[in-house]
Copies of this chain bind each other. A is one copy, B any other.
């Protein structure tokens, strides 16, 4: 198909498609003349992915390019794809050291996570911030939260494993991580309302 058809099929303007081509976010089409190229289904899939990463996931052009690079040079296993995904996803608190408490928690849980993983830095920073604001965060509470999050992550990992292509797997992990966070925040609040109401009703009877 020509670039105009690629634009029609994806709903992305020709100017934006040319921008994607220049920025290395979209692979070149097959040249049919000095000024024309032919595009195929791989281009449609790529444009949709880039669109989802940038518009849906809020990634920068550079981060989206890192995802695309990982697809061009795919790592050996899907687990390594997750590593790529985690490197491009923004993490708060990346300058924070992993605390002794967090290391002990991960060990007690029996989780195998890189000792200086971004997730553990973010976790240490978030716990420190909560405590500094006067919120007591007990060790047992953290462990219980971790068990709830493990159940959530089971769903995430199953979704990524069930995908048909590396392209789909990577999109699922990156978008699933970024876009499901607000879903979980909302579900947590709904569950709080349900549980708190149930306790209030029980105490009245």
For A133, list chain B residues within 8 Å (CB). Answer: 52, 55-57, 175, 179
Give chain A interface residues in 142-199, CB to chain B under 8 Å: 142, 144-157, 159-161, 171-172, 175-177, 179-199
The binding surface of chain A is classed by DSSP as helix
Contact A134:B48 (CB < 8 A) given known A114-B193, A151-B147, A192-B177: yes
A residues contacting B by CB (< 8 A) are: 48-49, 51-52, 55-57, 77-80, 82, 86, 89, 91-93, 106, 111-114, 117-120, 122-123, 125-127, 129-130, 132-138, 141-142, 144-157, 159-161, 171-172, 175-177, 179-200, 203
Q: Contact check: which of B113, B126, B154, B195 meets A182 at CB < 8 Å?
A: B126
Q: How many copies does the complex hold?
A: 2
For A114, list chain B residues within 8 Å (CB). Answer: 193
Nearest CB in chain B to that of A156: its residue: B192
User: Can you name 22 A-B residue pairings with CB atoms under 8 Å?
Assistant: A56-B132, A57-B133, A77-B203, A78-B199, A82-B192, A82-B196, A92-B182, A113-B197, A119-B186, A120-B190, A123-B190, A125-B182, A126-B186, A135-B175, A141-B159, A145-B184, A145-B187, A149-B188, A153-B188, A156-B188, A160-B196, A181-B188
